[in-house]
Structure 1
Amino acid sequence: MKRQSGLNSFKKWAALLLAAALVFGLAGCGGGKAENTAKSGTGDFNKEGLPIVSEPVTLKVLTMRWGNMGDTFTQNQWLKDLEQQTKVKIEWEVVSSNDWGEQKSIMLASGTLPDIILGNQTFTDSDIVNNLSYFRPLDDYIDQYMPNLKAAMEETPELKKISTFPDGKIYSLPARLPSRPKTRNQPVINKAWLDQLGLEVPDNTEELYNVLKAFKEQDPNGNGKQDEIPYTETGLSPDFLNPFGITDTYGNSMMVKDGKPVFYPTSEEYKEGLKYANKLYSEGLIDKEMFTQDATMTSAKQQNADVPIVGFTNQWTPDAVFGKWSGEYAAIPPIAGPDGNRYNPGDPNGMSFNRNEMLITTSCKYPEIAARWADQFYTNEASIQNFWGAIGTVIQKNDDGTYTLMDPPAGTSADAWYWDQSLRDFGPKYVSPTFEKNIVLNPEAGDGLKLEIDKLGNEYVTTPFPNVMYTSEEFQELPTLTTDIDSYVATMRAQWVTKGGIDESWDEYVKQLNDMGLEKLLKIRTDAYNRYMSVK
């Protein structure tokens, strides 16, 4: 016991030393230059126009990037020009997702933060709600110092709805990304196989069954083997149940039906969808390894070296998953269900809204300066340059008022280039819906291709259960409820698809979910939904 106690003591001291080092590194929030030159609230701070301050000020901005992406985005010409125009110098701290989990815990434990946290991937809803004292309410700053964002919120009320916390205040700034689709995933099928077998694109669930059966039995890849996998995913994707009215945009087993939140794994539509899946599975039309394989195994099948072996799936775009075989695959309209209707997951407002894209911390000594700096991001030109790259580098501004994306350098994909040149998905931005007609995208690749595919299903997009916000107390209860309930739902889904028997065990399944606290989970989600809908 003493040895264990000593080990625990050592761990505590190590954590304290790490925290102390972090505190030292972040001490003097904004840096010495800001302390010596900024006089926010006096003549040195300009409430309107540029520069924001008469003498240079330094603000520390922390953001997290995926893996080894690095910090090349900080050389975005628009960001460099902004520094000259505003006299606000940014000292970037760019951390990798590989290390961020531990660093974030130390930072929140120490309570010493940089001036600004940027990007919704850096701090989650839970991180913020459980540490509200570290972050400034921004309502007054928006009203007094952020005319661009204020105008955007008036034009697009969704920005305010997603940004309002349970206490009615705004602590983080939102984004509306440009040229985003309304649909999430679309059905994708091997069109070359259809042509090889003389088959039409399936229109409904019965036709889909017949096509998958032909894929299984008639050797469409022509290698003389029965190695075709008509349908595969990592687990049964909720998208496979779309024809039955199941549309799960945010992956939380929730939908909105007749204006009310619904936990769809207890619905009749879900039950009928699983019966259909079981029929396909029992005939070998669904991958036998689907419930045991991981994403790497799924990808290996989608990009099989010798010949394509996957027939059907649901994806963002075909080129996102099928590698060298992408040219054989095509997105198709949503499959009609037994009721004759089509349903597509997504958002009628567009898959474009995020919150938590910027937080101004209570450590920041010059929040007015930070707010005015952030507001510069909320113009159309600023936003497209922070989503794709700077004008003159990635974007060409044309004489007719349109903006064309240039081709990426040889050997680089468009998406990789955009991440290298810009904040991309992260950070504050707003592109007005009326401005988007001025953006010229390549319809055969990347974002432009997705907008073309979007046309196949956007009229069938259902209203999703929104990206709601929870209170600190709700965040404490949710993990226990969702861990047990989601695990049980997944277990039973796999059992019913692979072995059948859903009618015989359905009532016991619903009873078990209720015993696990489904009613409490629904109340939490419904309360959060009602708060969200009440924001005007």
Structure 2
Amino acid sequence: MSKLSKRGAIGLTAFMLASTALSACSQEQAAAPSAKEGASSEAKGLNATGFPIVNQPVSLRFVARKNPQHGEWKDMMVLQEYEKKTGIKVEYEVYPMQNFDERKNLLFASNDLPDAFINSGISAQEQLKYGTQGTLIPLEGLIDKYGPNLKALFEKYPDAKKTVTAPDGHIYALPTIVTQAAARTQKLWMNQQWLDKAGLKAPTTTDELYQTLKKFQEINQGTDAVPFAIDMASATGNMFTNATMRGLAGIWGLPLQMGTSGGIEGGKFKLWYDSDRLKDMLVFLNKLYKEKLLDNNSFTLDIAKLNAMTKANKVGMTFNQTDVGMDTKIFKTFAYPKSSFGDPVANAGAVARDLGSFAITNKNKSPEATMRWVDYFYGDEGSIFLRFGIEGKTYSKDADGNLVYSDQIMKDSRGIQFAIGDMTIWPGAGAPHVINDKNAVAVTTPAIMEGQKKIDAIMPKTVYGAPLMEPAIAEKYSAMTEDINKFVRESVSKFIVDGVADDKWEQYKQTLQKLGIKEYEGFFQKALDSYNK
């Protein structure tokens, strides 16, 4: 049986390995490195800077999640070239996104650990569980010695460092770091053709927005075009982190801090699930739904279908981070309209996102070289290499010095994301690297940057990411998150369809109390207090 086939048998024998895994875990815990040591003391043949990273050959095994946009990792030009550049040969053990979490769990349970996980979405709970056990090693010492790019980013963006630091002070996994604001916000796009046909200017209030959508409906009578649509089928987990719902929440001045539906004022964290602002927003959406100004198929609509509708010029208004697949001669960006509650807010994502993108295990005999390997992608040169490949082959520079993908990539019939995914790992999110002004051309087109200018004034100064909760409450927090998200998602859907009667709203608020919403809010307050120490 081949090495890979043996690992494939894990799923058939995992139940036999449970007791062995616990024993092995205890043994590894005893031998776990301290954060001060950073990891092993073995750094033979390691170059502190430059390439190659090692003078003596090093072989590593990485487990990775294959996003739908990816080709075969073994054939990716960027990874092949990076092996030549670094002197480090990586065996990539890649599993599809659909069953990756199950496979990842089996690897942890069987102690059949790789040297590192990449593009793997190591959850907060997993970071705490396997970090405190010693299975995932602390990285802050390695960052300090062998991660100059990460170290510089954490110094410049201290909130990003706070987001990835566990309550015990250790960093067990690395994120994607997004410093380009346009890559963290949802722009409001409206169909300029329809506005012109209706003789309208862009709405500045929610009352004007309603009238605009009514006009969109009138000028498209007898067609399958819709004034507005929400990809509710994409709104899993916390539904308000979905692009469209994030934008709508922003119009009503409902902030998204600490990775959830809450805001921070005067050092106090407050969830807004039971707020008057949210109720007013749902009343508005119910009105749109009843009058078919909101596509009544929204609850089965996913992002791919919504993008297809936008591309076919069958939507009047949408929220999107980018203009990919959008005809910017038809769709233009506009400032968020105001609700009756006052100024809106642009709900930007945190600088540190895709937490758990990269983690090193205690099986790794070359953690210093591994840190140098991944740190390259957090600098300008390395991030451009990861995202664009090789100049003259997969990209070039235009007269203004902007990076431009090759015609072969730009004209690929499958779409640009799939063409890029044949050569490198970043499409589909989750890759450990920095996204900044120099490499984020996909989100810095003139149309997108124009849209960003229109919301710059309502951007929050600081955006905290989802915190890593203390081990003592992590399991309860995770269970409560799932229960509250599910209840809110189901309730909001009903309110949009059936209306927001006062008695139903009171029942909803009472159920939130029974689910422990105040205790849940307190978890975030405790994390915020820890950030601010």
TM-score w.r.t. the length of structure 1 is 0.79
Structure 1, unaligned runs of 5 or more: 1-10, 23-38
Partner of 2:167: 166
Q: CA deviation at 1:177?
A: 4.1
* Residues 270 and 73 (structure 1), Cα distance of their counterparts in 2 relative to 1, 3 Å cut: farther
The aligned amino acid for 1:313 is T
1:302 aligns with 2:309: yes
- Summarize the alignment of residues 22-101 of structure 1 with structure 2, pairs less than 5 Å apart: 41=42, 44-48=45-49, 50-67=51-68, 69-72=70-73, 75-77=76-78, 79-101=79-101
Partner of 1:263: 271
Partner of 2:472: 473
* SS of the residue 1:411 aligns to: coil
1:316 aligns with 2:321: yes
* SS of the residue 1:91 aligns to: strand
1:224-280 Cα deviation digits (max 9, x unpaired)? 526553222144835324322123478732333444222111112212222333333
Partner of 1:232: 229
Percent identity over the alignment is 25
The separation in 2 between residues aligned to 1:391 and 1:287, in whole angstroms, is 44
Q: Which moved more, 1:500-509 or 1:166-175?
A: 500-509
1:280 aligns with 2:288: yes
1:181-225 Cα deviation digits (max 9, x unpaired)? 165222222221111121111121111111112222x2x23xx52
* SS of the residue 1:137 aligns to: coil
1:519 aligns with 2:526: no
Report if the CA contact (8 A) 1:318-1:326 is conserved. Answer: yes
* Residues 403 and 302 (structure 1), Cα distance of their counterparts in 2 relative to 1, 3 Å cut: closer
The aligned amino acid for 1:245 is G
1:450 aligns with 2:448: yes
Q: Which moved more, 1:168-177 or 1:275-284?
A: 275-284
Partner of 1:334: 336
Which of residues 293, 297, 300 in structure 1 aligns to 2:300? 293
Report if the CA contact (8 A) 1:73-1:421 is conserved. Answer: no
Partner of 2:483: 484
Structure 2, unaligned runs of 5 or more: 1-9, 22-39, 233-243
Partner of 1:388: 388
Q: Which moved more, 1:137-146 or 1:151-160?
A: 151-160
The separation in 1 between residues aligned to 2:147 and 2:224, in whole angstroms, is 59
Report if the CA contact (8 A) 2:352-2:465 is conserved. Answer: no
Report if the CA contact (8 A) 1:141-1:368 is conserved. Answer: yes
* SS of the residue 1:54 aligns to: coil
Report if the CA contact (8 A) 2:55-2:87 is conserved. Answer: yes
Q: CA deviation at 1:110?
A: 0.7
Report if the CA contact (8 A) 1:179-1:447 is conserved. Answer: no
* SS of the residue 1:428 aligns to: coil
* SS of the residue 1:311 aligns to: strand
1:311-353 Cα deviation digits (max 9, x unpaired)? 2232223544x6xx77533322211222442322114xx7564
1:48-81 Cα deviation digits (max 9, x unpaired)? 554443321111122112137233586435x445
The separation in 2 between residues aligned to 1:304 and 1:249, in whole angstroms, is 32
* SS of the residue 2:189 aligns to: strand
Partner of 1:359: 359
Q: CA deviation at 1:18?
A: 9.3
The separation in 2 between residues aligned to 1:182 and 1:57, in whole angstroms, is 35
TM-score w.r.t. the length of structure 2 is 0.79
* SS of the residue 2:167 aligns to: coil
The separation in 2 between residues aligned to 1:287 and 1:131, in whole angstroms, is 44
1:371-410 Cα deviation digits (max 9, x unpaired)? 233333333111121123233333336899x452234413
* SS of the residue 2:390 aligns to: coil
Which of residues 428, 450, 457 in structure 2 aligns to 1:459? 457
Partner of 2:36: none
Q: CA RMSD in A?
A: 3.6
Q: CA deviation at 1:180?
A: 5.1
| Larger Cα-atom Rg | 1
Report if the CA contact (8 A) 1:414-1:446 is conserved. Answer: no
The separation in 1 between residues aligned to 2:279 and 2:11, in whole angstroms, is 51
